[in-house]
Amino acid sequence: MRCLAEAGVWGACNISDQAAMDRTREQLAVCAEHKAVFRATAPESKVGFSRSVREGLVPLNGLRLEPTGETSGWYIWAGEVMSQADDFFVPLHAAHLADEAPQVLKYLGLPPGWRFLIADDYADVWFDPDALKK
């Protein structure tokens, strides 16, 4: 069976095709629940990843802008405030989020303009039109 990453669907060749399909189904369900159009995040694309995520801060935040070049448009950070410091985000291949922040994977099918905030048993997902103006 062909690797799902080659098909442009979330999942890397080093995980089972079944796991990748399950992850994609979960992403599709999140999009359906919020009436958002599914837009896959390629595992080889880059996300802006804050080191604050590794510190275990809550809440965990995600914001998707329009992708450019090799980026997915996703920015992931932890804590109450997104810093404006130049080094707040570092590039990380989306495939590594499975190790760094697996709880965000189900949201990666949301299209540009969408955000999420998760903490323990709480999750909020919403469209932010201002995100597309940046």
In the chain, what are the domain boundaries? 4-133
Whether residue 7 is predicted with pLDDT greater than 80 in this model: the reply is: no
Q: Summarize pLDDT for 61-80 with one digit per residue, the tens.
A: 999 999 999 999 999 999 99
β-sheet with 60-64: strand ranges across: 89-93, 46-50, 71-78, 60-64, 114-119, 122-127
- For 114, the token pair is 């969408």
Residue with the larger pLDDT of the pair 133 and 128: 128
pTM: 0.86
pLDDT top residue among 75 and 9: 75
Beta bridge mates, 60: 78, 118
**The two three-digit tokens of residue 91, written as one number:** 């590039």
The HSE-up count of residue 105 (CA atoms within 13 Å, CB side) is: 23
